[in-house]
Each structure stands twice: as C-alpha cells, then as structure tokens.
Amino acid sequence: MDLKKLASTLIPDNDLLPLEEYEKMYPERQLNKGAEVTRLAPSPTGFIHLGNLYSALADERIAHTTDGIFYLRIEDTDLKRKVDGAVESVIRSLNYFGLNFDEGAEIDSPLNNYGPYYQRQRASIYRAYVKDLIERGLAYPCFCTEDELNAVRAEQTERKEITGYYGKYAKCRNLSEQEIYDNLAQGKPFVIRLKSQGSTENKITFKDRIKGDITVTENDQDVVILKSDGIPTYHFAHAIDDHFMHTTLVIRGEEWLSSLPIHLELFKVLGFKLPSYGHTCSLMKVDNGVKRKLSKRKDPELSLDYYRQAGYYPKAVVKYLMTILNSNFEEWERKNPTADYRDFKFSIDKMGKSGALFDIDKLNDVSKAELATLSEDETYAFLKGWVDEFGTEQDKAHFADADYIKKIIILICGIGGKKRRKDIVRAETGVRLFDYFFDDVFNPEYAFRFEKGDVTAVLSKFAAVYDENDDNNAWFAKVKAVAAEVGFAAEMSEYKQNPEAFKGSVADVAEILRIAVTGMPNSPDLCTVMRILGKDRTLARLNAAIQA
C-alpha cells in the first residue's frame, strides 16, 4: 500500500510543517536542574471542583518549590462540553485560592512561548503527527459507524470479552487500499486509529510518582487518535502537548490510570520521552459511617463555588488541602505557626497513595483558626468582600459602617485580649453574629428563665444605674449590686454554698441582662456590647424587654 499517498489523501492539509520544525518551535525550557513543569489541563466546562483544586495545589507547589513552571492548558477537543467564560472562571477560582499560573491560556505572561494553550488551536501540530503515523503504517482510517461499534460492543459483552477495537474486532485495520479508497469515494466519514503494536500478554511495570510501582497490561486497543471532525482525542493531544510544552510531571486524577497503557504506547510510537506521572487519589468522605468518593450530584462541597458562597477563608481551604496532600504539613505548621504555608517543603513523596479523606469539620477548625490570626482590618476586608457578593441588602448597609463593624470585630474575635475567640468559622455564618448590633434586624425572642417580676426588677434597676463610662469592674459591681437588691447572690461562692437561699446568682442576673440586650443567653463580653451599642440603644433594649 502506498502509505504516503494514503496519508496525503486523509490529511490533505497544506499548512503542515516537517516534524523537526515543531521541535525547533518548542525548544527545551531553560530551567534549573530539578525544576518541574506542571500543568492544569481542564476541559472548559465551567465546573471546577475541589479535586481540581487539590491536584492544582500539588502542581503549583511542586512547580514553585523547584523553580519550575505551572501553566494552564485548555483541553477543548470536545466542543459539546464548552461553556462560555469557563476559562476565566478557572483562573478566577484558582486566583481566589492564591494559586497563580506562570503561563498559559488567558495568562498575561512573557513566558507564553509554548502555546497556543487551547487544543483546538493546535490542530495542525496534531494532524502533522497523525499524518506521520499513517505514513509509518502506525495509524489507519476507520469507517465503522456508531451502530457497528455498538453491535461489536454488545457481542463482546455477551461473550464476556474485553470491549473495544482490537485484534479480530478491529475491522478496518486490515482494509485493502481499494476498500479504503472506495469508502472515501463514497464520502464515508472516518476517524484515524492507532495501529496498536501492543499485546495484552505483556505487562509493563511503571513508576508512578505518587502511587509507586504499578504494573499495567500493555495496550492492544486501536484507539481513536483523530476524530471525524479532524480534532484529536484527549489521549493523542495529551501526548503531543505534554511533549511540546515540556511538561516534566503530569499530575492527574487516578481515574486516568486505566488509560495509562494507551499513553505509554502513544509516547513510544511518537518517539517522545515519557513525562513522569503522579496519579492523585480521589477525595473521599464518610457518609453515614461509609467511606465513599465525593460526588458531584450528592455533595455540594465538591464545587469550589460552595466555598466562596459559604464564605470560607480561601487560605484556610488551601491549608486544609495541604494537610491532606502532605502528611507532614500539620506537624510543620505546629512548629512554624506564623510561617506562610508556601515556606513548607512540599514533597510529592509524602502524597497519599489511596483515598484522601475530606472532613468538613476539620476544615471548619482550620478555617476558624486561620481567621483568628487576622487583624480587625483584615477580618473586615474579608467579611465585607463576602457581604458585597452574597450578603442581604441589610448586611450591605451594616457593613458600610466600617468603624462600627471593626469595633464589633475586635469584640467578637477577642482582638487584643488574652486569647483570640474563634467564633467566626466562615463568613456566611460569621456575619450573622453581627446582627444583634443592628436595630433593623434585632428581633429577639426573650427566653428568660425567671419570673416576669424578677426579670423586670433586674432590668429596671440596672437601667437606672447604667453608665456607659463605667469600666468593666464598675459595670460588674453594678450587676452585683442589682443581684443583691433583687434577692440573687452577688457572689458565686455564696450561691454555691447555699443555693436555696437565693432566687439565683449574679450569673443569672447577667444572663437576664444579656438576653434583653442581645436576644441570646450567650454573647461576648456584655459590658463591651453595651458600650458599642451606646447608652440610648442599651436603655431602649432594656426597656423593650421590660415591656415585652
């Protein structure tokens, strides 16, 4: 068969360069020894999830701790999956979590020498290499229809055989020259398949950078490399792109492990050096006592938008992922509590080989600890950012008063106190802790635990003596005095010795005041709450509770 003629008939493009030209166009990167080139290669579906962030963080850390490159390539070979604005949304999401690309699609960078970074714009490179494979007898056209392929699959399933296009099932593998040209003359659509040289009799042991030694069976499937629209499949584009973009380490989900034999064969027939691979384990959660994979359908926390909407502090999410990615990160953090997580020596060898457990309670702990390291200005900026995007109109109006909100932040977070309070876990719930400071949303249900007469006596006597200039000691002395006057123990010790002698203790008196002023039995320091509210509003609340 005249393979050269066949290749030119199937790939008639006249803009293809000799293959050496492509090698010259994308020369080796000039990087230090040991520098890793990693990439995030999403399809532009607009859905970027926690698993992507998890892998991307490993990519980014490995690239940036080795003085390497982390780039963004858009795998848009499947047009059906394309969503407008998806690329910007990937970049925005990753930036939000503090991950930045050095080069790639839509990245403004002087390093963009290995593009285009959209696969659809690289069609000629792929087609040049497909043409070469056809010329070398390593690829061929396949005219099988969808119905024919389905029938073969059904037959294979029925016989309990491996499904796919291989061996005796690879019908078009042995078409004669005449048959091929007849099909073409009839205008039949075709794909190009790899003429696999492999055999399932052979095993290959392969070193995965995360999972260690893995033994796989050699590929014998004549996989499609170029689809009928002239665009390559993921497999083929992966080999070409990671070769020409000089990726040294491909980090991707373990769901790709089953395709690895195909990739090993493609790199071999293309004559390309294989990059290293690291297959990350899937994120799991414990659901009703059973460990299972996080699922797009069942788990809103898989979507990255969830973390923005719920108001997680982005760095906390990243730090939490670091604890899952590298088992020694937590210990390092304990020893270096004020260091930036980027100073940690990230190591691919410390990545888990199987099921990474995602635990939202642990994330909450990390998040509140992280928020407890911020100043009032930083806390304000973070909460205000969330309010502007997701808050109610009332939240927006409240947070417009920066001075007032910062006073509340200092109190709620215990800034300047002996120990920081960790009441704010994330913005969505944290913002609600500010509500009782605003009359337009303060709508208490007074759950007093004492008789109305005693409650009224406490509230009115305290209202009569309240002075906003009192310091905490003077304020508390007044609470004690009121307690004594209305038959409550002024000292806890007195009360403990003889509880029957009193209606309650000074703590109960403080609770009555607290419920009247904040609507809740628990709150941060009440004296400060009253001072922030100011005398008029404090008295108005005491009176409103008396009248309720």
Minimum distance of ligand GLU from residue 250's CB (angstroms): 6
Strand stretches in 150-211, DSSP E: 191-194, 203-208
Strand stretches in 263-418, DSSP E: 276-280, 283-287, 290-293, 356-357
Minimum distance of ligand GLU from residue 419's CB (angstroms): 45
Considering only 11, 37, 43, 527, the residue that binds ligand GLU (CB under 6 A) is: 43
Q: Are 391 and 399 in contact (CB under 8 A)?
A: yes
Minimum distance of ligand GLU from residue 92's CB (angstroms): 18
Q: Is the dihedral of CA 349, 350, 352, 353 positive or negative?
A: positive
If you search the block for the tokens 């038959």, which residue do you land on? 487
Give whichever of 280 and 505 is closer to ligand GLU, judged by the CB atom: 280
Give whichever of 16 and 281 is closer to ligand GLU, judged by the CB atom: 281
Q: Is 42 in the site for ligand GLU (CB under 6 A)?
A: yes
Give whichever of 252 and 285 is closer to ligand GLU, judged by the CB atom: 252
Spatial separation of the C-alpha atoms in residues 91 and 69, rounded to whole Å:
16
Shortest CA distance to 164 belongs to which of 259, 266, 279, 263? Answer: 259
Minimum distance of ligand GLU from residue 42's CB (angstroms): 5
Minimum distance of ligand GLU from residue 407's CB (angstroms): 48
Give whichever of 230 and 253 is closer to ligand GLU, judged by the CB atom: 253
Exposure string (b/e) for 1-30, b if CB count within 10 Å is 16 or more?
Answer: eebeebbeebbeeeebeeeeebeeebeebe
- 110-169: contacts with ligand GLU (CB under 6 A): none
Q: Is 77 in the site for ligand GLU (CB under 6 A)?
A: no
Q: Which stretch binds ligand GLU (CB under 6 A): 130-138, 250-258, 423-431, 539-547?
A: 250-258
Minimum distance of ligand GLU from residue 79's CB (angstroms): 14
Shortest CA distance to 506 belongs to which of 482, 530, 531? Answer: 482
Task: Label each residue of 380-403 as H, E or C.
Answer: HHHHHHHHHHHCCHHHHHHHCCHH
Considering only 49, 64, 252, 384, the residue that binds ligand GLU (CB under 6 A) is: 252
Minimum distance of ligand GLU from residue 14's CB (angstroms): 30
- 285-344: contacts with ligand GLU (CB under 6 A): none
How many Cα atoms within 13 Å fall on the side-chain side of residue 262? Answer: 21
- 22-41: contacts with ligand GLU (CB under 6 A): 41
The DSSP output letter for 226 is E
Give whichever of 223 and 530 is closer to ligand GLU, judged by the CB atom: 223
Give whichever of 53 and 250 is closer to ligand GLU, judged by the CB atom: 250
334 burial class (0-12, 13-18, 19+ CB within 10 angstroms)? exposed
Give whichever of 38 and 196 is closer to ligand GLU, judged by the CB atom: 38
Considering only 36, 75, 333, 370, the residue that binds ligand GLU (CB under 6 A) is: 75
Minimum distance of ligand GLU from residue 109's CB (angstroms): 20
Give whichever of 119 and 326 is closer to ligand GLU, judged by the CB atom: 119
Give whichever of 42 and 198 is closer to ligand GLU, judged by the CB atom: 42
Q: Give the H/E segment covering residue 249.
A: strand 249-253
Q: What are phi and psi of 293, to 5 degrees?
A: -65, 145
Exposure string (b/e) for 254-287, b if CB count within 10 Å is 16 or more?
Answer: bebbebbbbbbbbbebbeeeebebbbbbbbbbee
Minimum distance of ligand GLU from residue 230's CB (angstroms): 19
If you search the block for the tokens 């000039």, which residue do you land on? 30
Give whichever of 242 and 508 is closer to ligand GLU, judged by the CB atom: 242
Spatial separation of the C-alpha atoms in residues 247 and 58, rounded to whole Å:
14
Spatial separation of the C-alpha atoms in residues 59 and 65, rounded to whole Å:
10
Minimum distance of ligand GLU from residue 99's CB (angstroms): 15
Alpha helices in 442-505 (DSSP H): 452-465, 472-485, 492-497
Q: Is 59 in the site for ligand GLU (CB under 6 A)?
A: no
Minimum distance of ligand GLU from residue 234's CB (angstroms): 6
Spatial separation of the C-alpha atoms in residues 19 and 91, rounded to whole Å:
33
> Which residue type, as a one-letter code, is found at position 187?
G
Give whichever of 131 and 238 is closer to ligand GLU, judged by the CB atom: 238
Spatial separation of the C-alpha atoms in residues 366 and 314, rounded to whole Å:
11
Minimum distance of ligand GLU from residue 520's CB (angstroms): 47
Interface with ligand GLU (CB under 6 A), residue total 8
Minimum distance of ligand GLU from residue 162's CB (angstroms): 23
Distance of CA 354 to the CA centre of its chain: 19
Considering only 238, 243, 308, 426, the residue that binds ligand GLU (CB under 6 A) is: 238
Give whichever of 279 and 384 is closer to ligand GLU, judged by the CB atom: 279
Give whichever of 252 and 308 is closer to ligand GLU, judged by the CB atom: 252
Spatial separation of the C-alpha atoms in residues 527 and 466, rounded to whole Å:
10
Give whichever of 256 and 390 is closer to ligand GLU, judged by the CB atom: 256
Minimum distance of ligand GLU from residue 46's CB (angstroms): 12
Q: Are 114 and 244 in contact (CB under 8 A)?
A: yes
How many Cα atoms within 13 Å fall on the side-chain side of residue 461? Answer: 19
Q: Are 104 and 88 in contact (CB under 8 A)?
A: no
Binding-site ranges for ligand GLU (CB under 6 A): 41-43, 75, 238, 250, 252, 256
